[in-house]
Amino acid sequence: MENFKKVIKRRMHFAAGFNCLAVVFISFTGYRQDVLAIVSGNISDMIRGFQTGVFIGLQLFMVIFITKYKKAINSEDSLKKLYIEENDERKKLIRDKIGGTGLNFIIGSAAAAVVISGFFSETVFITLLAVLMFIAMVKGFLKLYYRNKF
């Protein structure tokens, strides 16, 4: 369990660092979009809202994970429950069936591309957003299918 505690602490440090980085990106998004709003119309507000929403949503998830991990470190029972939850064979099988790490990497890359493209082109932003939504829906449908199957 000591090794698992170290892994949890490392995750907490990563989440805290990412939280700080997200604050920087939110402020950069606000500044950059103010400059672009002069050139573009209403779509720039949607792009700015999407970018800000993505970073705020990620911050919220990081805070939830930090809270969950802090609770697990302080209590041996919570640590054991978290360990069992993360090493559940059924969940691992389902994750492997729907694409595992590869599909998560594709979704993360597509989300980053959507955010970055929002600074440059509205057409590319909307196209990549549609691609991201399609990939996420496919993952969601596969997850539901395999949860019911296994």
pTM above 0.85, yes or no: no
In the predicted model, is pLDDT for residue 34 greater than 80? no
Span 67-92, pLDDT tens digits: 988 988 888 888 888 888 888 888 88
Nearest to 85 by CA among 69, 67, 96: 69
Nearest to 71 by CA among 10, 12, 2: 12
Residues 2 and 47 in one domain: yes
Cβ neighbourhood burial of 84 (10 Å; 0-12, 13-18, 19+): exposed
Q: How many domains does the chain have?
A: 2
Residues 52 and 117 in one domain: no
Phi/psi for 42 (5° steps) reads -70, -25
Rounded Cα distance between 27 and 8, Å, is 29
Q: 95 lies in which domain range?
A: 88-150
Residues 76 and 124 in one domain: no
Residues 110 and 55 in one domain: no
Residues 6+ apart with CB under 8 A from 69: 8, 9, 11, 12, 15, 82
